[in-house]
Amino acid sequence: MVKIRNIELGEFPLLLAPMEDVSDPPFRALCKQYGADLMYTEFISSEGLIRDAAKSRQKLDIFEYERPIGIQIFGSETESMVQSAQIIEAVNPDLIDINYGCPVKKVTCKGAGAGLLQDIPKMVRLTAEIVKATSLPVTVKTRLGWDDDTKKRRRSSRALARYRDRSHLDSRSHP
């Protein structure tokens, strides 16, 4: 049984990946109808959220029939990410997902998304601060590493797994 804290997802759950400009409410409604067990919103900029940008705010719209649903955020500044987690908690999703996997230049050049794979200790610290700031379960979506060398050593997943084990967390990463 796959379980994220109290969310029971069955033996082989079908997860809807977060996709920018795709995983919006109408698309999610279709995916739910066709059997998605857990869905994620498209990623939301923490900098946009804390500035109350309309585009970011709109992505917080979730509906009861969508549960369980996770809201995904990205960013690189601890304070903005922590504040965003609190803004997200107020709309009451089932979990928060952190994006450590986006390879797009405009995201990585600001040290967000996969950019954080270049500073694994910062990624772990950021995760810890977000977990501390919210009572919701936290998952992360990440990659094995920034380049071939770090991929081979799987530093990102190992560091997060060590943090999870140390903290007795119930969060998990997803593909």
Ligand X SMILES: Cc1cc2nc3c(=O)[nH]c(=O)nc-3n(C[C@H](O)[C@H](O)[C@H](O)COP(=O)(O)O)c2cc1C
Residues known to be catalytic? 102
Backbone angles phi, psi at 71, to 5 degrees: -110, 130
Question: Does residue 99 touch ligand X according to CB under 6 A?
Answer: yes
For residue 169, the cross-strand partners are none
Question: Does residue 100 touch ligand X according to CB under 6 A?
Answer: no
Question: Does residue 20 touch ligand X according to CB under 6 A?
Answer: yes
Backbone angles phi, psi at 83, to 5 degrees: -60, -40
Question: Does residue 22 touch ligand X according to CB under 6 A?
Answer: yes
Question: Does residue 141 touch ligand X according to CB under 6 A?
Answer: yes
At its nearest, how many Å lie between ligand X and the CB of residue 14?
12
**Residues 9, 17, 53, 159: which binds ligand X (CB under 6 A)?**
17
**Closer residue to ligand X (CB): 19 or 159:** 19
**Residues 45, 72, 80, 156: which binds ligand X (CB under 6 A)?**
72
CA distance 126 to 121: 9
Residue whose Cβ sits closest to ligand X:
17
Question: Does residue 164 touch ligand X according to CB under 6 A?
Answer: no
Question: Does residue 28 touch ligand X according to CB under 6 A?
Answer: no
At its nearest, how many Å lie between ligand X and the CB of residue 74?
7
The interface mask with ligand X, positions 42-61, x = CB under 6 A, is: xx------------------
**What's the first-to-final CA gap in the chain, in angstroms?**
17
Contact segment (CB under 6 A) with ligand X among 55-63, 76-84, 96-104, 160-168 equals 96-104
Which residues bind to ligand X, rule: CB under 6 A?
Answer: 17-20, 22, 42-43, 72, 99, 101-102, 141
